[in-house]
Every structure is written in C-alpha cells, then in structure tokens.
Structure 1
Amino acid sequence: MPRLSSVQQKVPCLFLTEVKQEQSRKRLGQPFQVIATEHLNPLALESNVESALATEKLDGTCCYVTYYEGQPYLWARLDRKPTKLADKSFKKYQHSHKSSKGFTWKVEEDFRTVPEAWIPAHGVQHHEGTPIPDDHGHIPGWVPVQTDNKQYCWHSSTVDYDAGVALVLRPGDQSPDLLELALVPLVDLMEQTLELIGTNVNGNPYGMGAKKQPLHALVSHGSVGVGGPSPPPLDLQGLTSWFQESREGGLEGIVWHCDDGTLVKVHRHHLGLGWPAGDCSFSSRPVEVRVDWTADHDYRLPTKDLFASLSRLDGQRFSRLQDVRFDT
C-alpha cells in the first residue's frame, strides 16, 4: 500500500532550504519562496535516500478513502482555517517573531466551522482532544465527497458509490510506461491517499479530457515511478539539469520513498523552475482503457454516464493520456 501523503505527514525537502523574500511561483499571494540549497537534508541521508524509490509527485488535489456511514467513501481535503481576525493576528506574530512557534491558538474561537462529518488528517497533533494547527495556521483534514455537493462534483465524477468503484489511473502490468484507466473497487483503496487530476483541476497540466467532455481520475500516491534508464541524480546541479533536459523530467516533482518509511520530496519550484513546463511526462505515457463491468467482478454495475462511455473504449490503447477522448 502506498505510504501516507504530504497531507497526512509532513514531507521534508530533499535539500536543506532557505527562504527568499520574493513572490512565490507556487502559491498566489505568498510573498516568499522556499529555495533548495546545495546541501542534502540530513534526514534524507540518515534514511539512505540513495536507495529509495523515486515516484512522481502529481499536480492535482489530495483525496483519501476510508469509511463513511458504513461503506468505503472518497474524502476530499478540507483544511480548517482561521477566521480573518485570527489570521491577521497570526501573520502579525509571524512577521514580528520571524516564526510561528509560540503563537497561542484558541481553536474553537479562532477557526472557522467545518461540516459535521469533517475529520482531521492522520498526524495532526491534539491537545486535550482538540486538533492543533500546523506551522501555517491550518488544521489539515478531510470531508466525505457526497454526490449532491456541487463543490466536489469533479471528485464525485470519479466514484460510483452504488457500484462501490472508483476510476483510477495506475501503471499497467505489461510495460513500465503503460498506464491503465480502470475501475477499481473502493474497498481495494481503503486507507490510501490519492491525487485527483483532470480537466478541471489545477489548470489541467496533463491535458485530460475537454471542456465538453471532462475527464478526471484518481492516482494512488506512490504508485507512479519516475522513469528513465537511471534514477534522478541527488545533487542540486544534476537534479536541476535532469528536470530541464531529460525526457523524464517533465513532472511537477519527485517523492522518494525510503526503506525506513521516510518520505522526502523536491518540487520544481524548490529549484527555481516553473511549472507546467513543456510536455508532461505523465500525459505522454500510453494509456489502455480497462473499464469493462461485463467481466466477472465482485461489484455491481456502475450507473454513471461517464463510466458507461468509457466502457465503450474498453481494451483500446491510446498513445498518450491526453489523447483519450469519448462520446457521452
């Protein structure tokens, strides 16, 4: 099973970092950038990152599968955030102390309400039963994706709760570069975190679907290895060149899975590189559609029009992910 995502545990950068007081390339409104230095993070070295599995960091929104009302359910990320007044006090403290450490929150008063079904993410610390905000003043968490909630319509397009299945992009069995677009029982995804990617997520860097025929899918974290004849280099200059020059470097970032369970990551923005950048490696992979519910499966027949449309493409192979098109 893939290890926990960055939402559930803090994932340090592969390199030690420094903060530059200039507009972030990654987050709108953030007046600083976190830039990698030439020094490898001691945590990465202690965890033997040289032998770690390098996986692709995909550009979407984080999801989680666990039970809700007695059945496997997809959950969307929803951070509990402070009120405007509390956030103003927090940022003022950060500015004057050059850190958020020591700031005292009154969670019940300082934070906005969340839906009753909301749960905090794994790894969130608690004090006397109350979740404690992280260094950014947020409490990461999850809310169940209910089909009648338009806010999560693209999340819900990837699941059919009546049939108990989800639409998943995953590496195929036939070759390391091949992807499969397949229906997977939700129960097989229990306690996994996944990335929702597609037409209406983060500007669609992978070119999936179209405005009139949107296509979204889930990708299990840690499931997509970084391709190429050799692993990406672990020095700053070599890795920067790898992102800029190699065919495999057209991705948002890398997450290394170390043998002791430690995760470390690097994002293009850590290296001063923009994103998206040219052809994305992920969307350039061939894809085979495996949406056939007439086979001997344990789940009930899906009822979604999208799944029915994709089933007509069952067994077809496309040269690139962005070439997958269908009629509804």
Structure 2
Amino acid sequence: MRSLGSVQQKMPCVFTTDIKEEKSRKRDGQSYQVVATETLNSIAVDADVESALATEKVDGTCCYVSLLRGEPCLWARLDRKPNKQAEKRFKRHQQVHRSGKGFYWTVDQDFKPVPESWIPAHGVQRENERLVPDENGHIPGWVPVQSDSKQYCWHSSVVDYELGAALLLTPTSHNNSSACSAPCGLQVELQLTAVPLTELLEHTLELIGTNVNGNPYGLGCKKRPVHCLVSHGSIPLVLPPPLNLQNLRSWFQSGPEGRVEGIVWHCRDGTLLKLHRHHLGLRWPDGDTLLGSRSVCVHMDQDDHNHDLFSSLSKLNGRRFERLQDLNFDT
C-alpha cells in the first residue's frame, strides 16, 4: 500500500454513480444525491480492484504530518472556499447541471482569504500557475496546528511537540482470547499509543473523538474528552463482501462488521476507491459502530508528560477495555 501523503481532489466511487432527485444526506445545501449504480467504475476495473486491500473508511477530520521549519508538525485540513457571491453563482450552476463541472472560477476574486501558513494539498491541479477548485468548489489544503491553538484545540490535544509524538489508534492483532465467540469483524484489537511524529511524516490521518463529527465512535465525554489519530488505510476489513451492489448493501445492514461509514479499496497501483453508505441510501451512523465496539489496549509507558491527555492516558497504561467506547479515566 502506498503512503498517503496527500489529499486527492476526488476519490472515485468504486461503482459508477447517478443523480437522485433528493436532498443530499451528506452535503448541506445540495439538492441531489449521488448514488451508486450496479456497474463497476472503469477506473476500478483497470486498477484490478478485485485484488485490492479493503479498509474501513473512518469518520473524522483529515490531518497531515509534514515538516514545518524543519520539524515534524501536525497540519489540519482547511479547504479554501468561495465567498458568498461566488457560492451563489456556483450553486445555481449545480442546480442546472447537477455537477460543478464546467463552472468558471476566478480564484483571486471568488475565494475567501486563508492564513499565510496555508498550503495547498498535493494533487491540487493548476492552470497557468493558478490553483483549480474541485467539483465541490473547494481547494483542499492544510494549516499547521500549534500547541496553543484555540481554533484547533482538539487537533493539538493529540500531539506533544516537546515529546515529538502523536496519539495513534492502530490495530495490533487478532484477539485470540475471544476469537471463537466474537464476530469476525470484531477480532481486530486496537492499541492506543504515542508514536513519534517522524514515523508519520507525509502521511494523512483521521482525527476522531468526542468533539469531531458528532463522535460516532463514542469516545470520551464532554467532561473528559478523548481524541486520537487513525492512519488512513490502517484498519483492514477482515472479510470484505464481494464487489456486488446488492451484497454490499446487505453487508452494511446485516452484521456488526458492516457498521462502518464506508469502505476504501487500496489497489496495488496506488489507486484509491471508496464506497460510502450514502451512496447506497443508508444512514450513518446507525447504532453502535464497528470501530467503537472493538477492544482497545492503552500503551503509554512514559509518565512524565506535561500534556493533559497524554498524562491522563499514561495512568491507564496496560489497561484493556472491551470496547473503544468504554475507555474512561474513572479507575
């Protein structure tokens, strides 16, 4: 699997898509839904998706680890977006064409300003040295997360720049102690630990937790919020369903292993393809999630942290929780 050091402007759906005349469940203000058809996307066929690694699509906010003034730094996703006047023009275009294709942007005039530290994501196209917005009218990019950041306080809670580490949730191995009785999708045990930022350089990750996207995984609470990072592509699906639309719809609805936001296929040639529950007209979240139901062990062997969340987790070193959503500090 290749390193994910960039945000793609658009990760294609594994199936071809069509437009449904209903209000989008995913994007506010969008008067139509993008739905999957029965036909595999030609991009998926060419990339041999049948032999690809299927991983869980994690619901959070995208982050990036890269150097800032020579030191590893966590960067928060910040898309450059159009101003009100340009947004109105763009929405009128979408209403007529059911797509953002063909809309003409004047980036210097149509887009809101961004901080001086903002950088465009790798893969953003350029024409005559000017950045080209994606089909949603955004220019994906990043801003560095400072340790005292108020706007990105939940991002800063998962990095300790003095230690040079980040809180990472990652799978360890099959849970042999309960493999006989647990559904196959729950056999992957998780580990929450601090890893050097240098090991994450040029990778993208997902920030999840109490105050991110409605907290579908049940992490922490308002009084004691918990956040962490998950590397993209790091959580494989144990027994992914066949690439058939009806099989996939049944898989998402019938068992615990289907309680995910979606699937991302990592093809051998580096192509990434996705399928979101919204492509099938299914709700998200819909009850307990697969990730929130997996067991987790805390490995924080250093207890000299000045960082609040790192320090609190160090007191749980060696503790195992039957479900990620059960992780708490009331010991």
TM-score (norm 1): 0.93
Verify: 1:197 aligned to 2:208, yes or no: yes
Cα shift readout 1:254-311 (whole Å, capped 9, x = no counterpart): 00111111111100110111010122111111100011126xxxxxx53202111111
Task: State the alpha-carbon separation in 2 of the partners of residues 69 and 77 from structure 1.
Answer: 19
Residue 128 of structure 1, CA deviation: 2.8
Q: Which amino acid aligns with 2:250?
A: S
Verify: 1:246 aligned to 2:255, yes or no: yes
Residue 184 of structure 1, CA deviation: 0.5
Map 1:131-170 → 2, pairs under 5 A: 131-170=131-170
Q: 1:280 to 1:198 in 2, by over 3 A?
A: same
**Which of residues 308, 317, 320 is equivalent to 2:323?**
320
Task: State the alpha-carbon separation in 2 of the partners of residues 198 and 164 from structure 1.
Answer: 21
Map 1:210-229 → 2, pairs under 5 A: 210-227=221-238
Secondary structure, aligned partner of 1:279: coil
Secondary structure, aligned partner of 2:215: coil
Q: CA RMSD in A?
A: 1.8
Aligned to 1:273: 282
Aligned to 2:178: none
Secondary structure, aligned partner of 2:310: helix
Asked whether the 8 Å contact 2:145–2:155 carries over to 1, the reply is yes
Residue 45 of structure 1, CA deviation: 1.5
Secondary structure, aligned partner of 2:153: helix
- Show structure 2 runs of 5+ residues with no match: 176-186
Residue 15 of structure 1, CA deviation: 0.9
Task: State the alpha-carbon separation in 2 of the partners of residues 32 and 93 from structure 1.
Answer: 13
Task: State the alpha-carbon separation in 2 of the partners of residues 34 and 111 from structure 1.
Answer: 25
Task: State the alpha-carbon separation in 2 of the partners of residues 81 and 218 from structure 1.
Answer: 25
Cα shift readout 1:158-202 (whole Å, capped 9, x = no counterpart): 001111110010011464611000000111100000000000101
Structure 1 residues 84-93 or 44-53, which shifts more? 84-93
Q: 1:174 to 1:93 in 2, by over 3 A?
A: closer
Aligned to 1:177: 188
Residue 324 of structure 1, CA deviation: 0.7
Residue 89 of structure 1, CA deviation: 1.9
Q: 1:205 to 1:2 in 2, by over 3 A?
A: farther
TM-score (norm 2): 0.92
Task: State the alpha-carbon separation in 1 of the partners of residues 208 and 198 from structure 2.
Answer: 21
Secondary structure, aligned partner of 1:151: coil
Task: State the alpha-carbon separation in 1 of the partners of residues 268 and 194 from structure 2.
Answer: 30
Map 1:1-12 → 2, pairs under 5 A: 3-4=3-4, 7-12=7-12
Q: Which amino acid aligns with 2:142?
A: W
Task: State the alpha-carbon separation in 1 of the partners of residues 26 and 98 from structure 2.
Answer: 21
Structure 1 residues 315-324 or 146-155, which shifts more? 146-155
Aligned to 2:71: 71
Task: State the alpha-carbon separation in 2 of the partners of residues 245 and 199 from structure 1.
Answer: 27
Asked whether the 8 Å contact 1:9–1:122 carries over to 2, the reply is no
Aligned to 2:180: none
Structure 1 residues 27-36 or 56-65, which shifts more? 27-36
Identity of matched residues, %: 62
Structure 1 residues 85-94 or 263-272, which shifts more? 85-94
Aligned to 2:218: 207
Aligned to 1:85: 85
Task: State the alpha-carbon separation in 1 of the partners of residues 5 and 302 from structure 2.
Answer: 30
Aligned to 1:298: none
Q: 1:9 to 1:97 in 2, by over 3 A?
A: closer
Task: State the alpha-carbon separation in 1 of the partners of residues 99 and 293 from structure 2.
Answer: 42
Q: Which amino acid aligns with 1:58?
A: V
Q: Which amino acid aligns with 1:156?
A: S
Residue 32 of structure 1, CA deviation: 1.0
Q: 1:205 to 1:6 in 2, by over 3 A?
A: farther
Q: 1:20 to 1:174 in 2, by over 3 A?
A: closer
- Show structure 1 runs of 5+ residues with no match: 295-300
Q: 1:100 to 1:14 in 2, by over 3 A?
A: same
Secondary structure, aligned partner of 1:208: coil
